[in-house]
Chains A and B, each alone.
Chain A
Amino acid sequence: MIAGIMASKSSAAERPRAASEPGALALVCLAAWAIPGAAHFWLGRRQKAAVFFVALLTMFVSGLLLRGRLFPFETSEPLVALAAIASAGMGLPWIVAHMVGAGGGLVTAVSYEYGNTFLIVAGLLNFLVILDAFDVAVGRK
């Protein structure tokens, strides 16, 4: 058993670090935020990168098509601010959507709340993807 634990510890210690420098780690996280799956692609996890890219973009675009709203950063409305932070997790697609005026939201649309849920959850899931990319980069996974 001890040998097994030692073996697992040594294998964890010997795991290659894809990006151990702070600058490189910051770039990995920035890439992961900007384009869902980009950091995993960069780190050689192509299959996971494809899943994250397709699933998260589909979720984000579905949220926009369902007439969901990209909430503004309103500090006077804490829940609105939290929703804004969550959906901002999508990175470049979120920026592009703002630039083209998408995500205005239509409160009277029957799918409005569904759209909001899709937009918020897509951003939150991309935050998890960023954390996963960080773990891969430092050799924890």
Chain B
Amino acid sequence: MTSHVLLLLLFAALVSAVFAALSRDEPGAQLKTGAIMFGGFVGAAILLGWLMYPFPL
């Protein structure tokens, strides 16, 4: 698998799952925290990618 986006999604999903399980005890809270974290990972990656789009100048 060499798709950057798929690897990004896989990485974000796995790291979010571990952090959510570490930081919350209830399954519902874990799901919510994990979803927020996953969105943050993916959103930040897209935003940073968009900001870097003009480079190198």
Contact = CB atoms under 8 A, between A and B. Distances in A.
Interface of A: 47-48, 51-52, 55-56, 58-59, 62, 65-66, 110-111, 114, 117-118, 121, 125, 128-129, 132, 141
A47 B30 CA distance: 11
Interface residues of B, number: 15
At the interface, is chain B mostly helix, strand, loop or mixed?
Answer: helix
B15 interface: yes
Nearest to A36: B18
Given A47-B27, A111-B7, A121-B15, A129 B1 contact: no
- Give me the 7 closest cross-chain CB pairs, A-B, nearest first: A51-B21, A55-B17, A55-B14, A48-B21, A59-B14, A125-B18, A55-B18
Nearest to B10: A62
